[in-house]
Amino acid sequence: MMKPEYQKQIIKDYPEFFEYLTEGLKIHTNDNTIETVKELIEQEHLVLPIQFGFECGDGWYWLLKQTFKIVSDYCKWNKKPFPQITQIKEKYGSLNIYHYGSDEMVDGMIWMAEHLSNHICEDCGTNVNVGKTEGWIYTICENCYNKKETAKNLNWNKI
């Protein structure tokens, strides 16, 4: 699971990708009912709008941030619809960004980010000496592989 601070930062910087949640979203807090993600963010009562949070390591934070930046700029400059992001997760060692509502250009940018994740350590974010484990697939660098408790019985191969 990505660090909550990182998740929060991305949602704060790019609320346009989570707009679909404002329809019908009612989150009850102690004192009132907040109806939009924007309000939620402003009041700092943020509950991650995506059901399970960002299910990937901190090492992909930079990749996500840069991808969202370029996608957001493209949509703004060209007046294209923002992708609505429903899930962000690691699957078989790759980043997966589930989304809908975007044009082919945005789909391509997201596709490229997913591809690049195969060359970036999911734990520390380096692209040096990155490999994959066998069986349960982690995309991690050799240093992180040696430190990772859950990977110690898996073979690691440099990409």
Positions in the binding site for Zn ion (CB under 5 A): 121, 123-124, 141, 144
Dig out the tokens for 52 from the structure.
Answer: 């399970």
Q: In terms of CB distance, is 63 or 144 closer to Zn ion?
A: 144
Q: In terms of CB distance, is 75 or 144 closer to Zn ion?
A: 144
Strand-pair category, 130-133 with 139-141: antiparallel
Contact 132, 93 (CB under 8 A): yes
Min dist. Cβ of residue 94 to Zn ion (A): 16
Min dist. Cβ of residue 59 to Zn ion (A): 6
Contact 153, 139 (CB under 8 A): no
Q: In terms of CB distance, is 48 or 124 closer to Zn ion?
A: 124
| Euclidean distance between CA atoms 14 and 103, whole angstroms | 18
Q: Which residues contact 6 (CB under 8 A, 6 or more apart)?
A: 54, 58, 61
Q: In terms of CB distance, is 20 or 138 closer to Zn ion?
A: 138
Min dist. Cβ of residue 93 to Zn ion (A): 13
Min dist. Cβ of residue 80 to Zn ion (A): 35
